[in-house]
Amino acid sequence: MANPLHDALLAPHAGSDRPLIRDADGGALSYAGFLDLAGRAAGVLDVRGLVPGDRLVVQVEKSVAALAIYAACLARGVIFVPLNPAYTDPEVAYFVGDAEPALVVRDPARDGALEVPVLTLSSTGEGSFTRATAETGGTLEPVDRGTDDLAAFLYTSGTTGRSKGAMLTHGNLLSNARALVETWEVTGDDVLLHALPIFHAHGLFVAVDTTLLAGASMIWMPKFDARGVVAALPGATTMMGVPTFYTRLLAEEGFDRGAAGHMRLFVSGSAPLLAETHARFEARTGHRILERYGMTETGMNTSNPYGGERRAGTVGLPLPGTEVRVTGEDGALPAGEIGMIEVRGPNVFPGYWRMPDKTAEELGPEGWFTTGDLGAIDTDGYVTIVGRGKDLVISGGYNVYPKEVEQVLDAAPGVVETAVIGVPHPDFGEGVVAVVVAEGPPDLDLLAQAAAQQLADYKRPKAYEVVDALPRNAMGKIQKAELRERLRGTFA
Ligand code: MLC
Ligand code: AMP
């Protein structure tokens, strides 16, 4: 009987009293303790009748109990579908309708009705899910799985405004974890400072899967807070973050060589790290941040080298096993030329859940996935991302698809049309701005209210700009580049 992720990430730690989780207060949970929690969570899935291939939606605050549910799903072949707790009820209703889960685990504070079985789990571990675990005493017995079997769906928004469930297999996640452990030289001696959310690829697969694979441990922080990170750093050897983590750390008093000098590695990704942040970080701490590039659909694709030259402004070299090419209208382009970045390898997902047409648009017959990112590869093989071919804003590492926000604002009374753009933001990298054309003077409070009711907080515009008309080209297409240029000082 085989189960790739269970066998590589969980089984080797059976009975181990080495710490997996260290909390900021000095408490620890051993690998054996974690596997016991996961076994109990798996028992709840059994009692609830979940079978391999069923989906389990989990929308809860970050907690070790939530992580144990992930491990339980891997062992039992249940597809783990994590959702950002910030998603509003209308957003959750869409995901649940699309994924058709056999069970949803939610925060007890959420009261929006769902037409599927629900158990609750709070950030402190209370709720009907936990009560159910007390009655199960389950073990983490794995079911048989192959590399092509599905392990998780991660929803990612699209340019049409409709979120797509990216299906990820055991083979996708395990090959990527292996490539990262090898590239970053992660070992059982590492202690990762974990301050990322665990409902996205970065905090879950990049951070947790590599830790489990290497038998390392994690300092577990419920969310990023710069002061807490500085206080916890002495016990850590590595940290992963989005660029906002690093700019916030640079603004924190006491963050210097003394606090960070002992660290082995700082990794950045999910959004572009400004070369200026890279330089300031090195000047302050002596560390060159290692930048890597990935996506929900592909996991990680490239990374600057651990031992070799880390080039600021680049995302480094293809990971072992992953191919990267840059294409133009006539196919692959030579070194130095800018085009569409495409990737292929065992890390690339098999498609979007129940969206064969969308899948075929982005995943070619030979396995090349069109990332939507524009870039170039230099003669040494380093990849540089120069922009995006897709209409996407990345704010503090979260993706915001303008179309989704525009659809909500356009539906408000008196609004003729809107264009949502991202402009430079000192904290979030890009900040969301809505440019609004209305029949009369628009009620901006009403717009903000519509956004608050329907969109997760990070998607809501942080500024509104009222204009008489949107700039269009001869084809009638809205000129977002012109708007971005005009409004680039909004958050300066
Ligand atoms: C929070 N807010 C954001 C925001 N996060 N707004 C825009 N962008 C964000 N990222 C909202 C809050 O709701 C609040 O709204 C206001 O902005 C200020 O909040 P804050 O207290 O300053 O924010 P905080 O809670 O500290 O969160 C910021 C953050 C967080 C950077 C710590 O966003 C974060 O953890 N980001 C990581 C995202 C991530 O993991 N991405 C990986 C995706 S995987 P109000 O209205 O209350 O004022 C991926 C693939 C890959 O992309 O390559 O890795
Ligand atoms: P997501 O859909 O959340 O997985 O976001 C993936 C997108 O994040 C990629 O397509 C890139 O546009 C962006 N991204 C990830 N890492 C980097 C990076 N290091 N530099 C620039 N953009 C990045």
Strands (E) in 246-288, as ranges, are 265-268
Which atom of ligand 2 lies nearest, measured to the CA of 385?
21
Distance 47 CA to ligand 1 centre (A): 36
Write down the pLDDT at residue 448: 98
pLDDT tens readout for residues 74-93: 999 999 999 999 999 999 99
269 lines ligand 1 (CB under 6 A): yes
158 lines ligand 1 (CB under 6 A): no
Write down the pLDDT at residue 1: 82
Amino acid 464 reads: Y
| Structure token digits, residue 86 | 């910030």
Q: Does the pLDDT value for residue 417 go beyond 80?
A: yes
pLDDT band at 55 (very low <50, low <70, confident <90, very high): very high
270 lines ligand 2 (CB under 6 A): yes
Q: Does the pLDDT value for residue 365 go beyond 80?
A: yes
Residue 92: in which H helix or E strand, if any? helix 89-99
pLDDT tens readout for residues 129-172: 999 998 887 899 999 999 999 999 999 987 777 899 999 999 99
Write down the pLDDT at residue 162: 83
The order of strands in the sheet holding 369-377 is 331-332, 323-328, 339-344, 369-377, 383-388
Write down the pLDDT at residue 225: 96
242 lines ligand 1 (CB under 6 A): yes
pLDDT tens readout for residues 369-386: 999 999 999 999 999 999
Residue 101 sits at the vertex; the CA angle it makes with 100 and 102, to the nearest 5 degrees, is 125
Write down the pLDDT at residue 340: 98
Write down the pLDDT at residue 137: 76
Q: Which of 87, 193, 210, 428 to mutate to test the pocket of ligand 1 (most atoms within 8 A of CB)?
A: 428
Distance 73 CA to ligand 2 centre (A): 27
249 three-class SS = helix
| Structure token digits, residue 194 | 């974990």
Write down the pLDDT at residue 29: 97
Mean pLDDT on 229-249: 97
Which atom of ligand 2 lies nearest, measured to the CA of 202?
4
Give the mean pLDDT of the chain.
Answer: 96
| Nearest protein CA to atom 19 of ligand 1, as residue | 458
Mean pLDDT on 12-24: 93
Q: Does the pLDDT value for residue 356 go beyond 80?
A: yes
d(CA 288, CA 364): 36
Mean pLDDT on 219-240: 96
347 lines ligand 1 (CB under 6 A): no
Mean pLDDT on 261-278: 97
201 lines ligand 2 (CB under 6 A): yes
Distance 348 CA to ligand 1 centre (A): 26
Q: Does the pLDDT value for residue 26 go beyond 80?
A: no
294 lines ligand 2 (CB under 6 A): yes
- Whether the Cβ atoms of residue 433 and residue 470 lie closer than 8 Å to each other: no
Which ligand lies nearest the alpha carbon of 206? 1
d(CA 240, CA 205): 12
| Nearest protein CA to atom 7 of ligand 2, as residue | 295
Distance 461 CA to ligand 1 centre (A): 13
Write down the pLDDT at residue 157: 82
Distance 62 CA to ligand 1 centre (A): 14
pLDDT tens readout for residues 277-301: 999 999 999 999 999 999 999 999 9
Residue 151 sits at the vertex; the CA angle it makes with 149 and 154, to the nearest 5 degrees, is 125
184 lines ligand 1 (CB under 6 A): no
Write down the pLDDT at residue 455: 97
Distance 430 CA to ligand 1 centre (A): 11
Q: To the nearest whole percent, how much of the chain has pLDDT over 90?
A: 95
399 lines ligand 2 (CB under 6 A): yes
Distance 18 CA to ligand 1 centre (A): 32
pLDDT tens readout for residues 396-413: 999 999 999 999 999 999
84 lines ligand 2 (CB under 6 A): no
Q: Does the pLDDT value for residue 478 go beyond 90?
A: yes
68 lines ligand 2 (CB under 6 A): no
Q: Which residue carries 């990849």 as its tokens?
A: 383
Q: Which of 123, 244, 433 to mutate to test the pocket of ligand 1 (most atoms within 8 A of CB)?
A: 244
194 lines ligand 1 (CB under 6 A): no
